[in-house]
Structure 1
Amino acid sequence: MLRPAQLPADIPDFTGRKELIAQLAERLTISPGNALTVVAVSGAGGTGKTTVALHVAHAVRAAFPDGQLYASLRGAGAAPLRPEDVLADFLRALGLSAREIPSGVHERTARLRSALSGRRVLILLDDATDSGQVAPLMPGAATCAVLVTSRSWLGDLPGAHQEGLGLFRRGEALELLARVAGTERVAAQPTEAVKLVESCGLLPLAVRIVAARLAARPGMSVEVLARRLADERRRLAELKIGRDAVESCFALGYEPLDADHARAFRLLALMDGPDLSVAAAAAVLDVGQAEAEDLCESLVDLSLLESRGPARYRYHDLVRLYARGLAEQADPANERTAALDRLLDHYLAGIRGVCRVSLPGFVHQAGHQGPELTFADAPAARAWVRAEQVNVSAAVEQAGRSGTRVLSEEVPLLAEVTGLAEIDDRLILGAVLHALGLGALRVRGVDEAISLLSAALAVAEAQHSPRLAASAHGLLAMALGDAGFVGEARAHVEQGLRLAHEIGDTQGIGVNHLGAAAAAFRSGDMEEAIDSLLKSAQAYREGGLPLRAAWASHRLMDAYRALGRPEEAVKVGEEALPLYQSMNDPLLTGRILSRLGQAWTDLGEPERALRCWKEADVILGPYDMAEGRAVRRHLGIA
């Protein structure tokens, strides 16, 4: 038998992956006993699977003195190699003549196993389509080892250790850039070098291409190439040199897709958000969630989509650009617009559902229309906001840029929530963030409220809307005050009151006095808190908003009780209770009842307190907040 040595040459400037290389080499060379060692490396096109596999194979070749067999299976191409043809090549490499090679695939597999029995041979199978292409090529001897690369996850390959290959770390990308393009050139423009490799998405193939382009053009600076890649419209066109092109690499994964998977790959890339849920994918594709999940999971298995977590997906930046280019070529404009409209409708339904939970009084008063997502309770609604805040913002901004929707007609409750008589499309994003921020604040989601309201304020300021900005300042002051950031809260109150007084906005004045009260509470100044709360109520009454004047009531009760004045707390609560009930706002109603229970306890009226707490428990239970848990403790059922 001949001793084959078929490995292609190693890459002289191989960079990074040190830990992975060591792990793979150890797995291939440590005997597992009587079982064959099989290692499968999978990853998206351009991640360097072949390069890594060759480097590992050369590193361990001394452990396989009887030879190394190699085959490029062309799994990502239009015509993958048939196992029987690969087997014939292997048998010839081992010294068999044409007459000695059997005709059938099963017979050839058996002959290969016989030929390798007792020998230490490494087999490298590069670019496999799936485990069906690889299984007939497996030797039977535990003395051998097999290293497989594939774009697909070969989870059904028996006994294989699976290793996913991802992107470069930034340091690895910069190291490769310097080794190929020149250390001095990269060191001379470090900031531009970082921008360059980040425009490559840290994809190894893309980094190698830009490095090679710089090496071939001594007069081109890193800054110039980084500037060219900064333009997304021409980025993929820039990422090619000679026969190497990122776009061609991606095409090898896309072209074998069937029609449904190809459509999903293209349309899901249209959204601007950083990721998407199964529900959002179903909306884009106009299919059921089960079908959407199957499509997404298949694309993940093919390394065309990334799994970010349970039922959440995202594209690599360059893959997204490639898919969008395909969508522009393959999908009519009306189909692309319809897909994005369905995505926006999905997020608007989520906004309505969140408001139904956290702003029930507003939903009732506004009488808004349109479908809603249903959330079991406040924690579920909060989780949705945390997961989708950035995606909601991106979808609203994207729809606003396209000009295909009159966004201000989509969520009528926003005018009620923000106090703006009219919300044009420029302010729709700020209004959405404002509404979600107020909802988070009301269910004590302080961190989410700060994030959402800060974003709403940024939109209001960018669009020069003093009314929206004044309201955002006040609500943000409330959130910051509750979180203990008293100085920041007071600064927002100062700005918010200035804006509100300049335009005569009584609602803005009212909400900023609420923010001042939150800061005073946190600093322990109850007299200042009471003064601010009374000013807030007065501003709302002067503005013709008597129901909103009651918003301060539960905080006012807290202040009176803190000062040892429970009689006044009870008076405030009993006056506010029917107003809260008339708002159809169970959250505020529950809060007043819980505080009435505390005030009646202070006054030595346990039976009255018990009645209030029992009513409050029924209302506050679904919100899972500290107030509800305190009520249950008072009732002895916590």
Structure 2
Amino acid sequence: MAERTVETGGPAAAPPERRLPAPGAGMSPRQTPARATGPAPERFVGRLRELKELREDIVRAGLDTLSGRKKPRSRVLLIAGRPGSGRTALAEALARQLATEYPDGVLRARLTGADGAPVPTERTARALLAELGEPVPAGALEDELTQELRAALDGRRVLLLLDDAAGAEQVDPLLPDEPDCLVVAVSRGPLTGVPDVRPCTLGGLDTAAAVELLERYAGPTRITCDPVAANAVVEECGGQPAALVLVGGWLAARTKMTIVDVAKRLRELPPAVDGYENAGRPLARAFWLAYEALPPPAARTLHLLALAPAGLLDAHTASALAGSSLATAQSALEDLTTRGLLRLEAPESASGALPPQYRVPGCLAPLLGALLQAQERPAEIELARARMLERTVRQLHSCRAATERNDPAVRRRIEQLPRPLRFPSERAAEEWLRARLPALLAAARLAVEDGRLDTLARRLVSALTRALTAHLGPEAAAPELYGLHQLVLDVARRCEMPLEKAAALLNLGDLDARGGRTTEALDRYRQALQSAREAGDPYATSRALESIAAAHQQLGDWQRAADWYRRGLELRLTRGELADEARLYGRLGAVHSYAGQWAEALRDWRAAAAACRRLRDQPGHARALSEAARVLEHAGRPREALRTCLEAVECAKGAGDARLEAAVRLRLADTLERLGDPDSAVEHRRSAERLLGAGGGGGEASAAPPGDATAGEPGGPGGPRGPGAPGGGAQAEAR
């Protein structure tokens, strides 16, 4: 929950307890240290007046109601305050109170990244659609995604919590058109431009609530013994929950210090610590108090955590950043969590094998970033980032390998990995991938944007692409894959790598075509062809030529499609690639059939049949002959069509493919009926039914029309790789 972050402040949460967990993914029993289990059941502290006002604002008549018009959108509540003021905790407390009134659930989205940059609206809309279980079109633009989101929310009662909004331009496109939905936005200031927004501005906690929060971390004894000093500490902290949590953590780590000591230390600190003025004086002083008290290794680990992608990390991330052992890193994370400097995330795990995950509080992120630049040399920062990316790549390789445990070679590679990098099962690997996906995607984006670790960035993107495809499948992972291929394209352009550029463009073109953006796909395929020719790679060139042809075919431009297929065929002929020749002859036959050019279509299908015969591909030979028979029939040559169809039946029978033979016999029966021989037609239909019954094939068997991509071409198990066919671009990338 968001209340577990320092930024939100306000929950009366005790410091994390410690216990020994069962060994999970990434640790052996002897290597598994005690870890934090998270706060005790949380109880929200203070803000009763604000909660009451927010609830009243929900039912209060808006401007549209007063003017007699129907509400065009959902009600929008705004909780405004500085980071660390408890604004997110208040929003979460309100969401918990209203959960039963919004039966379709609570959706959460953070609109500002850990680096302080606004999150693109298209990324937010994509994440919300995925949380709703709606299909997310890969590569869709912001307007399309926000429209899909509003359509998905129509007729639902959903509470949408938008945390840390930078401005109205982030919130407005996400507002549902459904009046029964409610939007709770959290921001630093007003959302000018959002109509009829109800603001609730936060200051510090009242004294009683602030003392209670301090007591939850520091313990009741010292607070009870000197309530006056406790009030003084609250005043020094300005009632800010985040500052009080840090001070309470400092007291919890120093059992011999009194509340008077901490008040004195706070007063002795400078009014504004260098580089921290923007965070607010009370929070900056409380953070400096907590940071100075850390042992040197823990202090260095803490400011290196500013490099954690999306502010999310686990023991592996901390270990790689600090260059320490996994057990040492886990112990440091527990200690920092106890002091209030980190917050423990609780990812859902069906297998129970997920390691604990932590978050850098948003209000502390700028402080840690400034401290990192002041304490570490640029070379040390780059080395720490490289170690983190290298560890992530190895984890992703292990995650993907978990899906191939039946392969003895893969099992041997898994056994050679260090024990902390292994996953106990495929299910545990998938859970880890899903839980860490926001951080993994952020790591890939940051690595590419940095520009100094391009080799690691390429390896990371490749490993993440393969892991996502292996665990989620190409269709489900398509939205994330689209962004990853764009990152590959950025690196390839920057490093002037034409082959990698061609592979990325082919992959993006495939996803564009699959999403119905055929014109955009065609443009990408043309760019890919230029890059492939620049690289001098015949495979990528052939792949681009065929993709351009398939895009023209999808657009119904048969002449251009045939022209580009012919160019691809010429390249295959010069290289003697017989199987590809057969496939491309089939594509040309299909295109010419669609265009009604029967003579050209017949020539192409006969050439395809001849290529299959040389390949000893009897199923492909039968399909090509069947398509040639269909073309002959359309061309008004039924007797030749009958002879060719009979030859196709013999080829299918020799191939031993019952479904294929049944399909060809059904086509033969149609030809016999048109020639006036109904008895023979009935006999062949009965034979087809017997074949389907004996072969167990379901559904209707019929010969594919010329140009059918699934059965109309010889030489391949799945027909042609059109612009939307998965796998073609991935092969180019792997090459």
Give the TM-score normalised by structure 2: 0.39
Whose relative contact order is higher, 1 or 2, with alpha carbons under 8 Å and at least 6 apart? 2
